[in-house]
């Protein structure tokens, strides 16, 4: 029984190794440049071996997306446990989202992959991870409303959705135009982010 457990752990480790390799490949070849061949090369495994651990190339992509979302969820959950006021928590979430992106920009590539390509349907698990993120934000917004700091006209669900959409949009903007903005307009990412948060705070408050 003990050996079975060990086997399972090793198997899981190997899965993670392959996923890590996939991330490495994506970092150097781009999301689109990911191929089973390259993953095999990166892991020093044979091509066929990859298929012992994953049914599909798509399964790898989908798990990677879930992984990214899970990491983000953890960041968000930490914020929820803060003793900050709910409105501050909302702001922290926006900041945390930004910091997460800076640490792991690949994540946004993965998110975009599923957003751009209609043909790639999300698995049940992926949808759940997406909904979990939203629930956290909805929860905080709801409590902020009860707290009295939030404009009561705005539904918490719609607010959460809007925040999420805007935040993702802002990060994409930073990613694509960040360098140019800095160079040509002398606008730092920080400035942009702070203004964005400030703007939302104003818009959201009672």
Partner DNA sequence: CATGAATGAGTCTTCATTCAT
Partner DNA sequence: TATGAATGAAGACTCATTCAT
> Which residues here bind DNA, judged by CB under 7 A?
7, 10-11, 14, 33-38, 44-49, 51-53, 56-58
Closest to a copy of itself by CB, 13 or 203: 203
Q: What is the DSSP string of 4-68?
A: HHHHHHHHHHHHHHHHHHHHHHHHHHTGGG--HHHHHHHHT--HHHHHHH-S-HHHHHHHHHHHH
Cα(170)–Cα(182) distance, integer angstroms = 15
Cα(93)–Cα(193) distance, integer angstroms = 12
Give residues 176-195 in contact with a copy of itself (rule: CB under 8 A): 176-177, 180-181, 185, 187, 191-192, 195
| Interaction mask 28-57, a copy of itself, x per CB under 8 A | --xxxx------------------------
As a 3-state breakdown, the chain gives helix, strand, coil percent values, each rounded to 5, of 80, 0, 15
Closest to DNA by CB, 47 or 103: 47
Give the residue carrying structure tokens 């702001």: 91
Give min distance, CB of 81 to a copy of itself, in A: 26
Closest to DNA by CB, 59 or 115: 59
Residue 205 bridge partners (DSSP): 150
Q: Which residues bind a copy of itself (CB under 8 A)?
A: 30-33, 109, 112-119, 127, 130, 151, 153-155, 157-159, 161-162, 164-177, 180-181, 185, 187, 191-192, 195-196, 198-205
């Amino acid at each position: 029984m003990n050996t079975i457990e060990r086997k399972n752990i090793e198997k899981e480790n190997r899965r993670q190794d392959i996923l890590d390799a996939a991330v490495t490949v994506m970092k150097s070849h781009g999301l689109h440049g990911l191929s089973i061949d390259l993953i095999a090369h990166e892991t020093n495994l044979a091509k066929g071996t990859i298929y012992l651990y994953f049914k599909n190339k798509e399964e790898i992509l989908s798990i990677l997306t879930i992984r990214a979302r899970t990491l983000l969820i953890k960041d968000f959950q930490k914020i929820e446990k803060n003793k900050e006021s709910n409105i501050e928590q909302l702001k922290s979430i926006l900041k945390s989202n930004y910091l997460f992106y800076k640490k792991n920009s690949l994540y946004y590539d993965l998110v975009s992959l599923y957003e751009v390509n209609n043909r790639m349907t999300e698995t049940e698990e992926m949808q759940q991870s997406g909904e979990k993120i939203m629930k956290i934000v909805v929860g905080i917004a709801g409590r902020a409303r009860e707290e009295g700091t939030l404009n009561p006209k705005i539904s918490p669900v719609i607010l959460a959705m809007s925040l999420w959409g805007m935040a993702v949009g802002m990060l994409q903007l930073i990613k694509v135009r960040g360098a140019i903005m800095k160079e040509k307009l002398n606008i730092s990412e920080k400035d942009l982010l702070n203004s964005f948060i400030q703007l939302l705070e104003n818009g959201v408050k009672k």
